[in-house]
Amino acid sequence: MSNIQGKVVIITGASSGIGEATAKELASKGAKLVLAARREDRLKKLQEEIQKNGGQAIYKVTDVTSYEQMEELADYALKEFGKIDVLVNNAGVMPLSPVYQKKINEWDTMIDVNIKGVLYGIAAVLPSKRERKEGHIINVSSIAGHLVFPASSVYSGTKFAVRAITEGLRKEEFINNIRTTIISPGAVATELIEAISDLELKAKIVEESKVAIDPASIARAIAFAIEQPSDVAINEMIIRPTIQEL
């Protein structure tokens, strides 16, 4: 029996990409899923697919940039399943642009989703995990959280922040038997590129992303971290396409 069997897992950004793939992977291993995203039609479709295949899933439309909605999501999980074993903070956006273009609204969106969304998720689930003296928080960063390239200044800044927050959380909560994991994907075939508003830059990134791997590859890494015994913490993983240089 998988160590994932029966674990209650909240996944943000579950309507597509890595979040959707992770939901399917964990459902196949017996997790009880709480799916969160803004697009209800996709959440409902994913829930139905998981249930059709014998899995357990509920969903709640959630905007991770709202602290109140993240609190409501955690409360919903506790009400329905009685506990929260794992939070996968996966929601993220990547509207890359050079700083000189001053795309302030895009900067604000990245800060709100990629940093505040992660913090709000942690804040929402941490009290129940501290009370139980166990749990696991998985934050999705990026290869851009390890290096910076032209047009990634702000995006990389948010993903460096995710790594710093997660490592700080580890040092604060290891005594409470709470595990933390940083997942840093390289090029993955998701919708992230669609948010790039500079068409010339977008075309360049699309070309570079032809080496992208399937989101299921990241989902398997997340499952690997979760299924370790409770005394083992996989603190950080970088998962790239084999032929990706960056």
Q: Which of 59, 67, 76, 155 is catalytic?
A: 155
Q: Tell me whether residue 59 is one of the annotated catalytic residues.
A: no
Within 87-229, where are the H helices? 104-110, 117-132, 153-173, 199-208, 215-226
CA distances from 44 to 36, 59, 238 (A): 10, 7, 31
Identify the H or E element spanning 73. helix 67-81
CB of 95 closer than 8 Å to CB of 89: no
Coil, strand or helix at 44: helix
d(CA 8, CA 27): 10
Instruction: Return the closest-CA partner of residue 96 out of 83, 107, 84, 87.
Output: 107
Q: For residue 21, give the H/E element and its range.
A: helix 17-28
Q: Alpha-carbon distance 68 to 73, whole Å? A: 9
Can you tell me the distance from the alpha carbon of 62 to that of 58, in angstroms, rounded to the nearest whole number?
13
Catalytic residue numbers read 155
